[in-house]
A and B are shown apart, each in its own frame.
Chain A
Amino acid sequence: MQTTMEARPVATGRWRHGLVVLAALAAVGLALRLAGDAGGPQLRTFVLVFSSLLIEAFPFILLGAVVSGAIEVYVPAAAFARLARLPRGVQMPVAGLGGFAFPVCECGSVPVARRLAMKGLAPAAAVTFMLAAPILNPVVLVSTAVAYRGRDVLWPMVLGRAGLGLVAALAVGWIVARQARGELLRARPEDDHEHEEHRASGDGVRRRRWPAFFEHVTTDFILLGKYLIIGAAVAAALQTFVPQSIIGAVADAPILNILAMMALAGVLSLCSESDAFVAASFVQFGMGAQLAFLVFGPMVDAKLGFLYAGTFSRGFLRTVVVAVATITLAGALWLEVFFG
């Protein structure tokens, strides 16, 4: 079967755009090489934090893209149709607890959640999974326990983190539940193209799925990679120029100390697998403030802000920030009363 495309004067092979970009990259590389140590400790610190955030996060973004591509291409739509028929009240808690079964960190969970929503899962359930998985993740809970070993608050921290994280994720899911899929997800031109690619690959006698799979992997990687890089640059700049001791003054101020630790988590943009070690080092802050750091950070931070902006519609980030901050603050205060 042949489908003739309408001839359009589209400039498709602009290799020269690529050459201009390559030249710009070469210039940046040369400048960095020449600057080297002469660039001062600020440049060195920025480059190290920026690079290490990305070296740590890019494999997870790509793994998320691979899982997302596999869901799109290899999991039959009927499987999701059955899931989508379940009441939302069942889908959401199951999705929230899905983190135990799918240990993904925050960068990997974003493309997976988007794909789950596109495939028919209730968007609220996909969002709940995305927010809960980086906390309700066996690796993260074990590393939290390791960071707090030998302390009285070990179990309150581990269980408080898991419990409060799940509650916050369910709450955000519940808030966005009234939004339709099209309202919640940011439209991407690639989506239409991906569907056409599917159809095109289905036109032949032998249907080859792997080109469509790699198309999904590449487009997800490039879209989210772009936002991750911008987020990492912002986080690295804040880490380079803003001293962490700036929040020390409010360590004993009730409520303010919790808000300060949430703000710090948002600025640092740490991976949820390592943030417990940093939280544990803020010994001058109480247990509630440290817990707030551990619940808020994996759901809201500088790099995630950009990832959400590229994935979800306008307003989603505001909803997440307000809802997660409110629930984290309330939960941290409550736990501090009991265990502080």
Chain B
Amino acid sequence: MTEGFETRDRPRVVALRVAQAVLLSAWAGMFWFLVASGQSWLYVGARTAWVVPTGGVVLSFAALGRWLSIRAPRPEPFTSGRAWALGLIALPVVVVMAFPPSSLGSYAADRRSAALGLAATGDASEGEITLVDLGAALWSEETAAALAGRAGNEVSFVGFVTRREGMPADEFLLTRFIVSCCVADALSVQVRVVNAPAGRFEHDQWVEVEGAFYPLGDEMVVDAARVRAVERPDRPYLNV
């Protein structure tokens, strides 16, 4: 099938341009889906959350412009190479829409850096103790000193279970990632949970831990009073 263009003054619909318009619309649709479903929090942090709706607007603008200019005064070959190039650019949309929603887990925690060098979320000597404070205490002597004075305080953390080889059955690491812009820059924070119900929680399972917090040397430990399974939070990553 050809588009049979003979003159420049009779614009016709060009197949290549229609395919480009469909591609841009698909990308715009994906961005709006991420905004509407809240799934953008699986990919970006609070600092760059604005990028997703902005991407939706700009991609919608580009898609609309392409739909309005699908006619051309001369033919444009829709070759196999061009079709596959468009397919490659559509691939991330397929990946995001088809892959079941998920977040980084223990495998990534083993391969990524720990969130060292963070500043505490506030004055760690008072108020609620956060996982970010714990990350800060691993590096900052000031934060570590502030937290040392609060040994025995009650804490409540949400994260996922990371089990390391050789750990006693009633212990695990509670892990959470901190994201600045997107998942590619995720850094992990971990706290050791002791006296947890033995064998009840699986690797990578999301849990809420309540208990007393103790800084022991270079390690932060929570003596668990209660551990319960929870759903993955809508915002699985903490932000700085």
Contact = CB atoms under 8 A, between A and B. Distances in A.
Interface of A: 2-5, 7, 9-15, 17-18, 20-22, 24-26, 28-30, 32-33, 36-37, 41-42, 44-45, 47-56, 58-60, 62-63, 65-66, 143, 147, 149-151, 193, 196, 200, 203, 210-211, 213-215, 217-218, 221-222, 225-226, 229-230, 232, 235-236, 239-245, 268-271, 273-275, 277-278, 280-283
A310 B183 CA distance: 26
Contacts, number: 282
Nearest to A6: B6
B115 A281 contact: yes
21 contacts: A5-B6, A10-B77, A11-B77, A12-B76, A24-B87, A32-B95, A44-B107, A45-B108, A52-B184, A55-B52, A56-B181, A59-B55, A59-B59, A62-B62, A214-B69, A217-B65, A218-B66, A226-B88, A280-B118, A282-B113, A283-B117
Interface hub of A18, A48, A143 (most chain B Cβ within 10 A): A48
Given A12-B75, A13-B78, A55-B51, A239 B117 contact: no
B148 interface: no
B42 interface: yes
Contact of A278 (B52, B84, B187): B187
Contacts of B76: 12, 193
B238 interface: no
B89 A225 contact: yes
Contacts of B91: 25, 28, 229
Interface of B: 1-3, 5-9, 14-15, 17, 19-20, 23-24, 27, 31, 34, 40, 42-45, 47-48, 51-52, 54-55, 58-59, 61-62, 65-66, 68-69, 73-80, 82-92, 94-100, 102-108, 110-119, 139-140, 180-185, 187, 204, 240
> Chain A at the B interface: mostly helix, strand, loop or mixed?
helix
4 interchain residue pairs of minimum CB distance: A274-B181, A41-B107, A59-B55, A17-B83
Contacts of B69: 210-211, 214-215
A17 B69 CA distance: 21
Contact of B103 (A48, A143, A193): A48
Contacts of B117: 151, 280-283
Given A55-B96, A58-B27, A222 B78 contact: no
Given A214-B69, A222-B20, A52 B87 contact: no
Contact of B111 (A12, A44, A48, A240): A240
